[in-house]
């Protein structure tokens, strides 16, 4: 396994296993198999509803806890100081763990500065080994870095061959923030798994479009978080350490960039209204903004 070093010196695996949309009753089995095939970074979130399954698998794995890097995220309904503080403890309780390796603010909505203070407190208390954000686009990330006492160490954003986040990546590098990629396979959109460019590149190395994409992301210093509920595909997604892309491959992939999200555009008014509505429903006594 390769590792990336965060700004606070904590080392995290260079590739992880995500459990978005995995039912809680399936999560323990999936995470157990992911750990068995060699994953050491497991990514969940409060909103996924499967933290308990992640914790169960981690505790039952027989693997030293220090070898497993667990990530979770504070959901938008908890996006203020008091709610974020309570939710961090709730996540620890749900997973029955004494610390979480990386905690992220899931979205840049609500009082995320207040929530960040709770994250900083939990970090100083040793409950969290590292803290960061998710879906924070460049101006929001710069805002957080400018005013936080402890700057975010990670920003997890949609990143794939169609949404390459070139400018966002440069911004993160300038701020000392490591980039993680959710949706590395674009959730199958745009015919990803049969894409002719990725298929042709993969044929050179005996690799799949998914494996080519994971190698490309890792070569950029980005930590991808592929998901699969099938053990064979888990193994395939981890089998990306034995080949290297050349300049021609990288140029072909660069030409695929649409410079826009393909899975979920957090900058759209519709998405923003939905997320703000969730915050209002939980924090304003059931009142909705829209």
Contact 183, 160 (CB under 8 A): yes
Paired tokens of 252: 């072909």
Q: Which of 3, 17, 39, 48 is catalytic?
A: 48
Q: What is the DSSP-derived secondary structure letter of residue 88?
A: H
Q: What is the DSSP-derived secondary structure letter of residue 252?
A: H
48 is catalytic: yes
Paired tokens of 226: 């592929």
Contact 178, 4 (CB under 8 A): yes
3-state secondary structure 139-180: HHHHHHHHHCCCCCCEEEEECCCCCCCHHHHHHHHHHCCEEE
Residues annotated as catalytic (active site), given as ranges: 48
């Amino acid at each position: 396994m390769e590792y990336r070093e965060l700004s606070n010196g904590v080392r995290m695996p260079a590739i992880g296993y995500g459990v978005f949309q995995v039912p809680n009753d399936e999560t323990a089995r999936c995470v157990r198999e992911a750990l068995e095939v060699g994953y050491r970074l497991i990514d969940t979130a409060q909103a996924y509803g499967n933290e308990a399954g992640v914790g169960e698998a981690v505790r039952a794995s027989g693997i030293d806890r220090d070898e497993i890097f667990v990530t979770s995220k504070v959901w938008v309904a908890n996006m203020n100081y008091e709610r974020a503080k309570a939710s961090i403890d709730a996540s620890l309780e749900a997973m029955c763990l004494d610390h979480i390796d990386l905690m992220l603010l899931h979205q840049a909505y609500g009082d995320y500065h207040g929530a960040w203070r709770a994250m900083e407190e939990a970090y100083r208390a040793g409950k969290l080994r590292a803290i960061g954000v998710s879906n924070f686009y460049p101006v929001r990330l710069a805002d957080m870095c400018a005013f936080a006492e402890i700057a975010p160490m990670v920003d997890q954003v949609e990143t794939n061959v169609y949404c390459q986040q070139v400018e966002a990546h440069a911004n993160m590098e300038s701020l000392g923030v490591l980039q993680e990629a959710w949706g590395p396979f674009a959730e199958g959109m745009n015919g990803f798994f049969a894409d002719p460019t990725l298929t042709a590149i993969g044929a050179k190395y005996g690799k799949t479009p998914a494996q080519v994409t994971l190698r490309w992301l890792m070569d950029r210093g980005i930590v991808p978080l592929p998901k699969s509920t099938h053990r064979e595909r888990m193994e395939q997604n981890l089998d990306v350490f034995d080949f290297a892309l050349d300049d021609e491959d990288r140029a072909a992939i660069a030409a695929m960039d649409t410079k826009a999200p393909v899975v979920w555009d957090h900058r759209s008014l519709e998405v923003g209204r939905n997320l703000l509505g969730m915050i209002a429903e939980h924090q304003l006594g059931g009142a909705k903004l829209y």
